[in-house]
Structure 1
Amino acid sequence: MEKFPRKVFATLFFAIFVSVTGVGIVVPLLPVYAHELGASGFSIALIFGGFSLSRTFFLPWFGRLSDAHGRKPFLVMGLFSYFVISVAFVLAHQIHSLIAIRLIQGVASAMIMPVAQAYVGDITPEGKEGITMGGFNMSIFAGLSIGPLMGGVIQDVFGLNMAFACMGGLAFFGFFLAAVLLPPAAAERIYSVGRAPVKWGLLVRDPMLVALFSFRMVYTTCIGIIWGFLPVYANDAFALSSSAVGVLVMLGVSVSGLIHIPMGMLADRCDKRFMVLAGGTAVIVAMLLMGTAGGFVGLFAANVVFGIGGGLSMPAVMALAVIRGQKIEAMGSVMSMITVAHSLGMLMGSIFAGLIMDWFELRFAFFLGVLIMAAGMAQFFAGTRHSGAATMPGREKTL
């Protein structure tokens, strides 16, 4: 077995960490900022969900292109685009401008996250899928943990423009790391080069991939509800400060991130399917707690439980995705499909919550998340009941 390329892994880890931290600084501030500009619940949903909408359309394209032409060019372009976008945020003072910027940011994101995950999948040793992807995903969760807390403090002390400036500086540093330290595309370990791409029709008929897609989508639907509207809910219902909201948003991702590595190790040694279902159950409990919370303490507890749910389930989900991508030699396409599920979930969560905010009471959005999560768990259970369910005709044997 080839030696694990630690330098490549470390470069990807820190490049994603700093860029995600920058995005995390801004995420909890945008809904409140838009609300202050007079945005309705649906407009906030468009600002938050526009990112996921545009990313969904471009993810399959960039994933397949990275299978054929290498990961580095897309990572470098995407990270530099994040830097440019941060400048645009400073200049935007209207709702339609925020929507447009978020749409463009979604295109840039399609060049970053699934491509970075596919890169890590390419270099992952057999039997170490859980720990490797769990370790890499720490970069995402750590960035999304630190970012919201930083954003709340920066907003309270220095103002929103400084938060956008910090996002830009971190994005540029991530671009620098990827551009200078990653090997040229020709030196990457991409096993699908020279092969005909796996057809999307085969991917979307694979029961295992459909099950992973469904679970990832419903999980991120709940994230979309929380990230898009927890700041507004906490501000309107309990008059919490930006710093307090930053703490709440940080909790879910930080708790999940802290247990990602041990749960990744566990996923390499035990039933990954059981871990996914256990994590989904914890997410349902968390959404119920959010809908019935009476203040900061209740929301605090709910976000901790939500983080545990993600920490239990996501390493197992990503380990199964890596195994599948390696077997069919289409890591970029598989990771794009999983990230499409992420984007659709974020989009649906923000739109559903926005409509509920306009038509009913925002608290009910969390109860809707319970129903959606339960439906996704049922589909995952059905799609993974048989170990031979993940057959890809003409490509490989069953798992």
Structure 2
Amino acid sequence: MSGAMSWPFLRLYLLTLLYFSANAILNVMIPLRGEDLGASNTTIGIIMGAYLFTTMFFRPWAGHMIHKHGPIKVLRIILILNGFALILYTFTGLGGYLVARSLQGVSTAFFSMALQIGIIDALPEKDRSQGISLYSLCSYMPGIIGPLLALGMWQAGDMSYFTVSMIAIAVLTGLVGYTAKMDPEQSQPAPADTGQRTGMFQSFGQLVTNPHLFRCSVLMLVASLIFGAVTTFIPLYAGQVAGGNAGVYLMIQAAVVVLARFTVRKKIPSDGRWHSSYIMGMMLILAIAAQCVSFSTTGGPVFFYTGAVLMGTAQALIYPSLTTYLTFVLPKLNRNVLLGLFIATADLGVSLGGIIMGPVADLSSYSFMYMICAILGACMVAFAYEKRKAIVDQDTEEERVNFSGSS
């Protein structure tokens, strides 16, 4: 096997699978534990949102530090912090969970940036979408079994199972991480580059001034908000759906993500062009998925689990598609930092799914909250067409004129 399926990359995918196994369990355990301790949806949303809210702030810095010191050195340091955060869950309550989620957020900022930048830099352009898709696939694979394991631990009423699982994941992730290798060129620190340092601080403005980054970031922000609302509140909402089971829902969603990313990984656009109808279709699927979940309290489990299938499909395609597109259109000098900003918008969206939608659920209902998510998704269908298509057409025309003038 070669390219994105060669052994060095397979080892990185295994590390990704182990690293995100803890979250597959925590995403169910924390809401259930919080409700058991009398926490409101707002409090649960804040605790859950603290993870990626922290990650968001550290993404750009992570991209800069990885550029400066190399991904391997950063990866090994961050795995120690991640292990400490996982162990912290085993002997603390809600306050400790908030601290642990924040520490996990810092770890994930550096972990995911190190692996994704390493994969992007090491693979040829034609294999980029495959590598990103396989990385994303492995980050979701634990979601197939993790929720059911978490429910089993919770229903058993013995938290020792939870303690053992967190310690085991921390140890295994550390062992695999310390033996992982990347291409020697990518493992070495980058030479000093004052342009990169300056760009790190100037890059924040490009979230608005760079049209490609701005549009992709807005689409990712809204999509991630919907994903975050599902992750945070489905364990609590499922009890209101006749025949609904949170573990089954999350298992179906994760299984669809894994299956879709594996089967269509070679078909995700990897040509640097904006495919308007493709993006619009993904956002439409996302909006329908949220509406199915919202309607399931009336329509029953058919709508509930249909929402899981559609949500998994959207989740499988949106992130790798937008990320791959940006690797082609962003300036190479600050690409790592700008990708960090883009991924930070995904983190922010997931956090807002808990932080903002928690109060909405408290003031109304879970069903109404998911209907709001559906409306937001529908708005992004129009946004993808009217804004992105115009920009790309303009860029294409400029390239055509420049080409004609030079020939």
User: Normalised by the size of structure 2, how large is the TM-score?
Assistant: 0.86
Letter in 1 for 2:352: M
Q: Which residue number corresponds to residue 155 of structure 2? A: 156
Q: Name the CA shift for 1:314/1:275 in 2 (closer, same or farther; >3 Å).
A: farther
Q: Which residue number corresponds to residue 129 of structure 1? A: 128
Q: Determine whether 1:12 maps to 2:12.
A: yes
Q: Find the partner of 1:303 among 289, 303, 308.
A: 308
* Superposition pairs of residues 99-248 of structure 1, within 5 angstroms: 99-157=98-156, 159-183=158-182, 187-188=186-187, 194=193, 196-197=195-196, 198=199, 199-201=202-204, 203-204=206-207, 205-238=209-242, 244-248=245-249
Q: Name the CA shift for 1:284/1:210 in 2 (closer, same or farther; >3 Å).
A: same
Distance in 1, matches of 2:383 and 2:148, equals 35
Q: What displacement does 1:369 show? A: 0.6
Letter in 1 for 2:374: V
Q: Are 1:279 and 1:312, in contact at CA under 8 Å, matched by a contact in 2?
A: yes
Q: How many residues align?
A: 387
Q: Are 1:82 and 1:105, in contact at CA under 8 Å, matched by a contact in 2?
A: yes
Letter in 2 for 1:247: V
Q: What displacement does 1:349 show? A: 1.0
Q: Find the partner of 1:361 among 361, 365, 374.
A: 365
For residues 4-36 of structure 1, what are the alpha-carbon distances to aligned partners after superposition, in whole Å with 9 as ceiling and x for unaligned? 793331221110111112221221121111011
User: Normalised by the size of structure 1, how large is the TM-score?
Assistant: 0.88
For residues 128-162 of structure 1, what are the alpha-carbon distances to aligned partners after superposition, in whole Å with 9 as ceiling and x for unaligned? 22222212221112123332233223333463442
Q: Determine whether 1:373 maps to 2:386.
A: no
Q: If each structure's helix is expressed as a fraction of its own residues, which one has the higher value?
A: 2
Q: Are 1:138 and 1:260, in contact at CA under 8 Å, matched by a contact in 2?
A: yes
SS at match of 1:208: helix
Q: Name the CA shift for 1:3/1:14 in 2 (closer, same or farther; >3 Å).
A: closer
Q: Which moved more, 1:212-221 or 1:307-316?
A: 307-316
Letter in 1 for 2:318: S
* Superposition pairs of residues 18-37 of structure 1, within 5 angstroms: 18-37=18-37
Letter in 2 for 1:385: A
Q: Are 2:270 and 2:325, in contact at CA under 8 Å, matched by a contact in 1?
A: no
For residues 322-375 of structure 1, what are the alpha-carbon distances to aligned partners after superposition, in whole Å with 9 as ceiling and x for unaligned? 3245x5244431331222111110111112221122211121110111122233
RMSD, aligned CA: 2.8
* Runs of 5+ unmatched residues, structure 2: 397-401
Distance in 1, matches of 2:4 and 2:305, equals 39
For residues 77-125 of structure 1, what are the alpha-carbon distances to aligned partners after superposition, in whole Å with 9 as ceiling and x for unaligned? 22222221121111112x3222222122211211111221111111121
Q: Name the CA shift for 1:283/1:35 in 2 (closer, same or farther; >3 Å).
A: same
Q: Name the CA shift for 1:389/1:33 in 2 (closer, same or farther; >3 Å).
A: farther
For residues 31-83 of structure 1, what are the alpha-carbon distances to aligned partners after superposition, in whole Å with 9 as ceiling and x for unaligned? 11101101011101111111122112211111111122111222222222222
Q: What displacement does 1:236 show? A: 4.6
For residues 173-211 of structure 1, what are the alpha-carbon distances to aligned partners after superposition, in whole Å with 9 as ceiling and x for unaligned? 222222123248765388786462133146322111111
Q: Name the CA shift for 1:377/1:73 in 2 (closer, same or farther; >3 Å).
A: farther
Q: Which residue number corresponds to residue 399 of structure 2? A: none
Letter in 1 for 2:92: A
Q: Are 1:26 and 1:164, in contact at CA under 8 Å, matched by a contact in 2?
A: no
Q: Name the CA shift for 1:76/1:335 in 2 (closer, same or farther; >3 Å).
A: farther
Q: Which residue number corresponds to residue 257 of structure 2? A: 256
For residues 297-327 of structure 1, what are the alpha-carbon distances to aligned partners after superposition, in whole Å with 9 as ceiling and x for unaligned? 33111101111222333332121133245x5
* Superposition pairs of residues 38-53 of structure 1, within 5 angstroms: 38-53=38-53
Distance in 2, matches of 1:146 and 1:261, equals 18
Q: Which moved more, 1:82-91 or 1:260-269?
A: 260-269
Distance in 1, matches of 2:350 and 2:217, equals 13
* Runs of 5+ unmatched residues, structure 1: 392-396
Q: What percent of counterpart residues are identical?
A: 17
Distance in 2, matches of 1:189 and 1:137, equals 25
Distance in 1, matches of 2:319 and 2:394, equals 20
Q: Name the CA shift for 1:186/1:267 in 2 (closer, same or farther; >3 Å).
A: closer
